[in-house]
Amino acid sequence: MVVGDFAIDLDTVVIGAGPGGYVAAIRAAQMGQKVTVIENTFIGGVCLNVGCIPSKALINAGHAFQEAQGGSVFGVESKGATLNWAKTQDWKQHKVVERLTGGVGMLFKKHKIDVVWGTAFLKDDHSLRVMQKDSAQTYTFKNLILATGSHPIEIKGFKFGKRIVDSTGGLSLPEVPKEFVVIGGGYVGSELASAYANLGAHVTILEGTDSILPNFEKDMVKLVTNSFKQRGVDVITGAMAKEAVESDHGVKVTYAVDNAEKTIDADYVMVTVGRRPNTADMGLDIVGIETTDRGLIKVDNQGRTSVPNIYAIGDIVPGAALAHKASYEGKVAAEAISGKAAAVDYKAMPAVCFTDPELATVGLTQKEAKAQGIDAKAAKFPFAANGRAISLDQTDGFVRLVTNPEGTVIGAQVAGPGASDLISELSVAVESGLNAEDLALTIHPHPTLGEAIMDDAELALGMPVNI
């Protein structure tokens, strides 16, 4: 390999090693391609390092802390439970994050995937330049997959610093704050607000619209807002964040509701109002890659951009910014490069929010189905009638099946214990075009949360047994 002014010839190049990029790289290698990954920060991307995985670790730690303090409902009495925050952070980083990112590194070695560290800039449709701190190198490629991800939005008046943080900073606070303000009540904001409330913080969520978690149905969101209320979390909707001023010991947050300004004194404020695609300053315009007004890259159903040998996946293309969506698109793009007839199909793309209780959805809601002219019906089975949920003392929530006139499952929602796992069976149902009878005739083990799916299917057929 020659380094310097000479270009190094490569086969398939993937820019970005997040859940889209690393999966695309592995699948491409499995298809017989010689793969090189270019990454400027860390293997695993935002998801594994400072997003999905560490946030779930903190969420789990919060649940463990609450269980240690409040098990008396089961007759388990515990006294003096404390939180060792330094140990929690150490476990999150070294036992969870580093284990997973190290695993990806091992998979790269197994599949003979080369990694080039640095920031890539496109020169034309078959070459790019990788910039490092003290050097640069030009590479040519046959095919390219762009998987550069996204970054948090910084809003006016809330410049990120020591006590004004984005979601990355929110995962690595030096202490559990006594007062914690979260700007934005979407997926990330609600999840981390829930986690820190369980860890002992008093949390205030400032949401600009009239509801948190706008991508979920109202009866699902109501369960979360009720849980927040029970745990002392203040959810203020219709709130316009104006400014945050840091001091040595805290931060003063100013917001407005109905044109009336108010302030909150907090230890930290976390801004989670969305993310922007990492598409700027990488040479897309030089190559002629078409983008939307939001900077998202236009792609076809194989992830191919307007330049035939360049593909794009994940947060930088239209659609939901979900890690599993990026991974799915990465597989499709890698297979398309190998000439396979792979194409994306988002009919059964699940979405999950790890709040208390968990929320999950897949396919169409009844409202969405009716908007498409489908005379859909919805059957809703409560966890209050599920033996396993009762034994867990987690009876809030339900399973809902949405079926068309032929009885085919076209959507489903789960709110309650285990929703993030239960949605997978329902995703299979939607993807495979199963009907309610298929689910009702499938024997589910007893007593399990999954029985609620069988019970709901029987409800949809008009023959419920357990309700």
Over residues 169-190, the pLDDT tens digits come to 999 999 999 999 999 999 999 9
* Across 435-461, average pLDDT: 98
Question: Which burial class, exposed, middle or buried, applies to 324 when counting CB atoms under 10 A from its CB (0-12, 13-18, 19+)?
Answer: middle
3-state class of 101 per DSSP? helix
Mean pLDDT, residues 381-403 taken together: 97
Number of Cβ within 10 Å of residue 135's Cβ equals 10
Query: Does residue 144 contact residue 15 with C-beta atoms inside 8 Å?
Result: yes
Confidence label for 5 from pLDDT (cuts 50, 70 and 90): low
* 313 SS3 class: coil
Strand order in the sheet with 377-382: 351-353, 359-363, 409-415, 398-403, 377-382
Residue given tokens 């002392």 in the structure block: 232
Q: Residues 63, 94, 444, 446: which is the catalytic one?
A: 446
Fill in the amino acid letter for 209: T
Q: What is the fold, at CATH topology level, of the domain defined by 164-273?
A: FAD/NAD(P)-binding domain (3.50.50)
d(CA 102, CA 459): 46
Average pLDDT score over residue span 370-382: 98
- pLDDT at residue 235, as a whole number: 98
How far CA 29 is from CA of 1, 45, 292, in Å, comes to 20, 19, 31
- Please give the share of the chain, as a percent, with pLDDT higher than 70: 99
- The confidence score (pLDDT) of residue 1 equals 38
User: Mean pLDDT across the stretch 14-27?
Assistant: 98
Q: What 3-state DSSP class applies to 434?
A: coil
Residue 414 pairs in a beta bridge with 360, 399
CA distances from 453 to 161, 207, 403 (A): 46, 33, 13
Q: How far apart are CA 338 and CA 155, in angstroms?
A: 42
How far, in Å, CA of 25 to CA of 115, rounded? 10
* Mean pLDDT on 435-446: 98
Structure tokens at 235: 């959810």
* Same fold: 164-273 with 357-460: no
Residue of 207, 177, 201 lying closest to 268 (CA atoms): 177
The answer to whether 341 and 329 have CB atoms below 8 angstroms apart is no
Contacts of 416 (CB under 8 A, 6+ apart): 223, 357, 358, 383, 389, 394, 395, 396, 397, 398, 399, 449
- What is the residue type of 124? D
Average pLDDT (271-298) is: 96
CA distance 282 to 119: 9
CATH number of 8-152+276-337: 3.50.50.60
Strand partners, 34: none
Q: Assess whether pLDDT exceeds 50 at residue 2.
A: no
Provide the pairing of β-strand 398-403 with 409-415.
Answer: antiparallel
User: Which of 6-10, 218-222, 342-346, 350-354 shows the lowest mean pLDDT across its residues?
Assistant: 6-10
pLDDT tens digits, one per residue of 315-326: 999 999 999 999
Place of tokens 């930290």: 268
Percentage of residues in the chain having pLDDT higher than 90: 95
Per-residue CA distances from 392 to 58, 424, 435, 460 (Å): 21, 21, 30, 26
Q: Taking residues 319-343, what's their average pLDDT?
A: 98
446 catalytic, yes or no?
yes
Task: Find the mean pLDDT for residues 432-442.
Answer: 98
- The model's pLDDT over 88-136, given as tens digits with 9 standing for 90+, comes to 999 999 999 999 999 999 999 999 999 999 999 999 999 999 999 889 9
Residue range 8-35: mean pLDDT, rounded: 98
Residues 6+ away with beta carbon under 8 Å from 465: 455, 458
What's residue 4's pLDDT? 52
Concatenating the DSSP letter of every residue in 369-426 gives: HHHTT---EEEEEEGGG-HHHHHTT----EEEEEE-TT-BEEEEEEESTTHHHHHHHH
Backbone dihedral region for residue 112 (phi beyond 0: left; psi -120 to 50: alpha; all else: beta): left
Q: Hey, where are the domains in the chain?
A: 8-152+276-337, 164-273, 357-460
**Distances in Å between the alpha carbon of 131 and those of 196, 199, 312?**
39, 42, 21
CATH number 3.40.50.80 given to 357-460: no
How high does pLDDT run on average in the chain? 96
Would you say residue 437 has pLDDT above 60? yes
Q: Would you say 124 and 287 are in contact if contact means Cβ atoms under 8 Å apart?
A: yes
How does DSSP classify residue 273? S
Q: Residue holding tokens 């509701």? A: 257
The encoded tokens of residue 193 equal 């607000």
Q: Does the structure show a pLDDT above 70 at 439?
A: yes
pLDDT, tens digit, for every residue of 36-89?
999 999 999 999 999 999 999 999 999 999 998 876 788 888 888 899 999 999
